[in-house]
Structure 1
Amino acid sequence: MNTKIKVLLAEDELALAQIIKESLETRNFDVLHCKNGQEAFDVYIKENPDILVLDVMMPIKDGFSVAKDVRKVNKSVPILFLTAKSQTQDVVEGFSVGGNDYLKKPFSMEELIVRIHSLLGRIISKNIDEAVSVGMYLFHPIKQTLVFDDKTENLTHREAALLHLLLENKNEIIERAVILKKIWGDTDFFSGRSMDVFITKLRKKLSLDAAVQIINIRSQGYKLIC
């Protein structure tokens, strides 16, 4: 079972938004559609999507403004801009406010999907495709699943990336700063709080095997014991 990629789509052209949403959902994406920039930021805070696809020209807040606000709380979540603009200065501005990629309208759905997978693929290397043991669990990094007996638990992209990093260094302390730099791209306060939340989520998902523990080493970092 593959976990769905959660996409926040901010697009005020409703006909185009519906086409994108339906096309992505037929390809196993979970799409949260927002009609303006303010709604997009509010939904981002509430839902914590895997990636943001933002139209540049939107009411209330434009896509660049949304990206600026998102980057204040998360430095690494992928942001893809959709735009009818093609001037060099607009492209430069998009990257300067924290965008990771830029797709000019009109575009094909296949191109959008390739761009999304490319951005998310930076979190976990694509050559890690075999399942690995985590205690009594079987972890599939690319499928982003944990299997315990006949129970399958889906992971988000970031949960899978975090578990993989911990597993690479199992039974050893990984400094907080190292984890934050590799997965969050920043060591600021908000990234640190986000990491702690994800550690808690992983502990819960690994709780069926008492021999598997993620230990907090005070003032240092975390250690996966298994």
Structure 2
Amino acid sequence: MPKVLLIEDEPALGMIVKDSLSYRGFTVFYAENGVAGLAQFDEHCPDIVVADVMMPDMDGFTMAGHIRKRDPNVPIMFLTARSQTADVVKGFELGGNDYLKKPFSLDELIVRIEALLRPRNAFASTLAVFKIGNYTFDPAKQKLSFDGHETSLSHREAELLRRLYQLRNQVLEKNVVLLELWGDDTFFNGRSLDVFITRLRRYLKDDPQVQIVNIRGVGYKLII
């Protein structure tokens, strides 16, 4: 039974979401601010974190930064009424995996949670270990290794790199990967994909033989 840590400073909304998730079979731990949420994270080791951004004591972005230091892989979904592009990009840069704007439907929230949890369980035993230039990529463990140094990837980073590798030296179409990993190809999701590509480039920068290039208006290509 998946464990969800829900942090929401509006008690009425928090209880509605908590009850809905519990009814769908999730074990839900609830906190009303970032400080309490961080304590709940340490106590319960949840499978996913669903957090409001604007909260008292510690905002969701700050809390996510602390969580990422504890666990680089746990999925984090932000819930927020803030819709500025800079806020969305910041959420992903801080290690967020998804960003759902208020008001939202409970059905959409549950579908997104299930999508974020799925890569942890599906196909883990069947994914091969890949060589990407001088890097070793283990998509099942979500690890990228180079010269004895190991980098832990988020679920979406690992899935994106796996797709790039499978189409290495060919174009990975942007709208295709957005539909597969984000669920739709909206402008905001397109910006978040750009952030993820930037992260992967940073992870792969130590081998000059490996590049991720933009194919303008089409997508991306992993060149090895």
**Shorter-chain TM band:** 0.5 to 0.7
Tell whether the 8 Å contact from 1:24 to 1:31 is kept in structure 2 after alignment: no
Residue 198 of structure 2 corresponds to: 200
What pairs with 1:3-22 in structure 2 (closer than 5 Å)? 9-10=7-8, 11-12=30-31, 20-22=40-42
Shift of 1:46: 8.2
Distance 1:9 1:43 in 2: 8
1:143 is paired with a residue whose SS is coil
Residue 109 of structure 2 corresponds to: 99
CA offsets per residue over residues 104-124 of structure 1, 9 Å max, x none?
xxxxxxxxxxxx798422476
Shift of 1:129: 3.6
Distance 2:163 2:180 in 1: 9
Q: Computing the radius of gyration over CA atoms, which structure comes out larger, 1 or 2?
A: 1
Evaluate the alpha carbon distance shift between residue 17 and residue 221 of structure 1 in structure 2; reply closer, same or farther with a 3 A threshold. closer
Cα RMSD, aligned residues only: 4.2
Tell me: higher relative CO, structure 1 or 2? Use CA pairs within 8 A at least 6 residues apart: 1
Q: 2:55 aligns with which of 35, 39, 62?
A: 39
Residue 223 of structure 1 corresponds to: 221
Q: 2:139 aligns with which of 138, 141, 150?
A: 141
Tell whether the 8 Å contact from 1:128 to 1:141 is kept in structure 2 after alignment: no
Evaluate the alpha carbon distance shift between residue 118 and residue 134 of structure 1 in structure 2; reply closer, same or farther with a 3 A threshold. same
CA offsets per residue over residues 116-171 of structure 1, 9 Å max, x none?
79842247643444311111100011211111121111111111111011011111
Q: 1:24 aligns with which of 44, 47, 54?
A: 44
CA offsets per residue over residues 57-109 of structure 1, 9 Å max, x none?
xxxxxxxxx47768x969x8398xxxxxxxxxxxxx521xx2116xxxxxxxx
Tell whether the 8 Å contact from 2:169 to 2:221 is kept in structure 1 after alignment: yes
Q: 1:170 aligns with which of 168, 176, 189?
A: 168
Distance 2:182 2:63 in 1: 18
1:39 is paired with a residue whose SS is coil
Residue 182 of structure 1 corresponds to: 180
1:164 is paired with a residue whose SS is helix
Evaluate the alpha carbon distance shift between residue 152 and residue 169 of structure 1 in structure 2; reply closer, same or farther with a 3 A threshold. same
**Greater CA deviation, 124-133 or 149-158?**
124-133
Tell whether the 8 Å contact from 2:210 to 2:223 is kept in structure 1 after alignment: yes
Tell whether the 8 Å contact from 1:175 to 1:221 is kept in structure 2 after alignment: yes
Evaluate the alpha carbon distance shift between residue 218 and residue 78 of structure 1 in structure 2; reply closer, same or farther with a 3 A threshold. closer
2:98 is paired with a residue whose SS is coil
Evaluate the alpha carbon distance shift between residue 202 and residue 19 of structure 1 in structure 2; reply closer, same or farther with a 3 A threshold. closer
TM-score between both structures, scaled by the size of structure 1:
0.60
1:214 is paired with a residue whose SS is strand
- Aligned AA (1:121): R
- Aligned AA (1:39): M
Tell whether the 8 Å contact from 1:78 to 1:120 is kept in structure 2 after alignment: no
Evaluate the alpha carbon distance shift between residue 142 and residue 174 of structure 1 in structure 2; reply closer, same or farther with a 3 A threshold. same
Residue 3 of structure 1 corresponds to: none
Distance 2:177 2:49 in 1: 28
TM-score between both structures, scaled by the size of structure 2:
0.61
Distance 1:215 1:197 in 2: 14
Evaluate the alpha carbon distance shift between residue 126 and residue 69 of structure 1 in structure 2; reply closer, same or farther with a 3 A threshold. farther
Residue 77 of structure 1 corresponds to: 98
Q: 1:159 aligns with which of 152, 157, 162?
A: 157
Distance 1:173 1:50 in 2: 27
Shift of 1:31: 6.8
**Greater CA deviation, 202-211 or 125-134?**
125-134
